[in-house]
Amino acid sequence: MNDENISAPRTMPIQSATFSQDTNAEIRRAAATGIYDIRGGGAKRKVPHFDDLLFLGASISRYPLEGYREACDTSVTLGTRFAKNPIQLDIPITIAGMSFGALSGAAKEALGRGATLAGTSTTTGDGGMTPEERGHSEKLVYQYLPSRYGMNPDDLRRADAIEIVVGQGAKPGGGGMLLGQKITDRVAGMRNLPKGIDQRSACRHPDWTGPDDLEIKILELREITGWKVPIYIKVGGSRPYFDTTLAVKAGADVVVLDGMQGGTAATQDVFIENVGMPILACIREAVRALEDLGMHREVQLIVSGGVRTGADVAICMALGADAVSIGTAALIALGDNDPKWEAEYQKLGTTAGAYDDWHEGNDPAGISTQNPELSARLDPVEGGRRLRNYLKVMTLEAQTIARACGKNKLHNLEPEDLCALTMEAAAMAKVPLAGTDWWPGKPGTAF
Amino acid sequence: MQTIDMETTALRDLNATLQAQAETTNQTTWEITNPKGSHAIAVGLDAPIDVTVKGSTGYYCAGMNKQATITVDGSAGPGVAENMMSGKVVITGDASQYAGATGNGGTLVIKGNASSRCGISMKGIDIIVHGNVGHMSAFMAQSGNLVVCGDAGDALGDSIYEARLFVRGSVKSLGADCIEKEMRPEHLTLLTDLLERGGCDAKPEEFKRYGSARELYHFKIDNAY
């Protein structure tokens, strides 16, 4: 037998976990272009999340409610602290702020229609309020952003609540960018900028800098709106205890807390993946701040960033939130990243589920675009119906879990109903590791 | 003339009264006494009335003004006339930071000096400052006109879009993408009108014009320094 016929044992080719194929591809892309990657969406890396928690359900020591017979209240009132007209919602799932500009007019209309059918609120975004959005949204939250694009006192008074945006989970400490291809005549007109230029949004508000100023800014907004509507403060998940404390001290009616999985229309990938905390790590700290101030349930807490299912909603309620907010999930419900457009995703060099170049305006699903041909693919009436259905399913799911835990109101869920599958999730949620009565950092226990 | 004394009238009542004035009101002249640096005085007005504040004001006086003519007979705190839509605001003394921030329209006249970030993110407002302006004035200024009869501080017009800046005195430094531009006849005509509206007797020919080099209008790596 000659040597050629001997198959000698050899080491298998081993890919580096550190220099993985996608890491290397990004190094090559950076070397070729000299430009960092900009994309939409939220963090894609795996982080401790709601999937790492489980509900315990009822047993001998807990009494469950009958799933199809006994009521489980899902309503919530937001803005009870100072506003004359708090917002009453049928379900504790709201639609997050997304701009006309980043999204098409039809997509914004669909969000308004779906939210209204489901008995909840939707939110404007950077770029102002459009008549379609106002017209189709029974309850509309008006975002007050650093750029103040399209901001005017008439729209402010047309809003059902005002959300002062200090930051967002995808990019705490960052501003925004809307690339020129999405700046059509209408978008440019609303933002008072030339058509077709890349539009930057500042990372800080132009006329206040710290919590003491913010308190006075809130006073001004309340004076202009006659103390009628609630004022929310939205922050990205970075220092939830202190941010919540300062927001309450500044006079907020509602604190909106957005984790790193929360989406953005466009920013640097390095920002999205490396700055901010997962929402799971934020909720209990924000609740602790509210409790320390004696304001839990007096100032309402809305959390967002990776909420997808009724189980996620129920977990947020159990951890102490009053409501959740969804953005990316709502876009998926409308048709974003649907495999039916796979051939077109392939042409864009991506695949359904991974498409995140929302800033380029070529969305095959017609949602994150200003191209009339593409945006015509989204029927706002049908989109609204789909969103309503999705919100209804989430609500039914959350009710199913709450009843199983013996709760006749979603907000009666509590940390005691939960256990964690990992040490990390146990530490962040401050609930016991499954099968134990302990979590890292539990008072009175050693680590 | 109607007089509201802030010694005896709460801020809420003051603003509610002024905000309730209709387009056709015959109570067109108002005087506010004893402001004592209060915040958010005369905000959100929307009627063609004349309001004079007798004394200095705190933050956001005349914020989001529409139609009204508001005079502060004293100095104004941060954010005076922020996001003004129309009308006129006159400060007889000095103005603190962010004067006229994000203003969409109307005219803001500051007879003294303005502090830093005057006209930040302005979106169509005209601002005439008789004295000097501080650093970072007209930062990210989108449109409208800023006239400075004195000197400008550091980083004037940083990241500016299409606003026009006119400065008579020195400019300590220009911000990113802000350059001196040719003063053409149409600019002199515009400036003549602005100076007249600002009650300023400076000569248009004494000013230099600054604006955007438009190099930041399209994202490229060389801009990301």
| Interface predicted TM-score of the whole assembly (ipTM), two decimals | 0.96
* Structural domain containing residue A281: 40-429
Q: Does residue A215 form part of some domain? A: yes
pLDDT, one tens digit per residue, over A69-118 is 899 999 999 999 999 999 999 999 999 999 988 899 999 999 999 999 99
Q: Does residue B224 form part of some domain? A: no
How many domains, in total, are found in chain A?
1
Q: Does residue B223 form part of some domain? A: no
Whose structure tokens read 């490229």?
B220
Interface mutation vs chain B, best among A223, A229, A271, A357, most B CBs within 10 Å: A223
Q: Does residue B63 form part of some domain? A: yes
Which chain A residues have a beta carbon less than 8 Å from that of B215? none
Q: Does residue A441 form part of some domain? A: no
Q: Does residue A266 form part of some domain? A: yes
* Structural domain containing residue B33: 2-213
Region for A227 from its dihedrals, namely left if φ exceeds 0, alpha if ψ lies in -120 to 50, beta otherwise: left
Q: Does residue B54 form part of some domain? A: yes
Interface mutation vs chain A, best among B14, B219, B220, B223, most A CBs within 10 Å: B219
Q: Does residue A125 form part of some domain? A: yes
Q: Which residues contact B150 (CB under 8 A, 6 or more apart)?
A: B113, B129, B130, B131, B132, B133, B168, B169
Q: Does residue B205 form part of some domain? A: yes
Q: Does residue A2 form part of some domain? A: no
Q: What distance in Å separates the CA atoms of residue A239 and residue A8, rounded to the nearest whole number?
A: 57
Task: Indicate the pairing of strand B178-181 with strand B208-212.
Answer: antiparallel
- Burial (CB < 10 A; 0-12, 13-18, 19+), residue A132, is middle
Q: Does residue A28 form part of some domain? A: no
Q: What is the CATH number of the domain that holds A276?
A: 3.20.20.70
Q: What is the mean pLDDT of residues A200-209?
A: 91
H helices of A44-171, in order, are 105-118, 131-136, 153-158
The SS3 call for residue A409 is: strand
How many domains, in total, are found in chain B?
1
Q: Does residue B206 form part of some domain? A: yes
pTM of the model: 0.95
A200 touches chain B (CB under 8 A): yes
Which chain B residues have a beta carbon less than 8 Å from that of A177? 219
φ, ψ (nearest 5 deg) of residue A156: -55, -40
The CA distance from A239 to the nearest CA of chain B, in Å, is 28
Closest listed residue to residue A105, CA positions, set A194, A184, A199, A202: A184
Whose structure tokens read 């430094």?
B173
Which chain A residues have a beta carbon less than 8 Å from that of B12? 223, 227
Q: What is the CATH number of the domain that holds B59?
A: 2.160.20.60
Q: What distance in Å separates the CA atoms of residue B137 and residue A202, rounded to the nearest whole number?
A: 15
Q: Quick one: closest CA in B to A35, which residue?
A: B221
Q: What distance in Å separates the CA atoms of residue B208 and residue B170, rounded to the nearest whole number?
A: 9
The CA distance from A272 to the nearest CA of chain B, in Å, is 18
A to B CB pairs, distance under 8 Å: 105
The pLDDT-based confidence of A409 (bands split at 50, 70, 90) is: very high
B60 touches chain A (CB under 8 A): yes
> Please, are residues B147 and B198 in contact by the beta-carbon 8 Å criterion?
yes
φ, ψ (nearest 5 deg) of residue A113: -65, -45
- Residues in chain B with pLDDT < 70? 219-225
The SS3 call for residue A383 is: helix
Q: Does residue A442 form part of some domain? A: no
pLDDT, one tens digit per residue, over B5-24 is 999 999 999 999 999 999 99
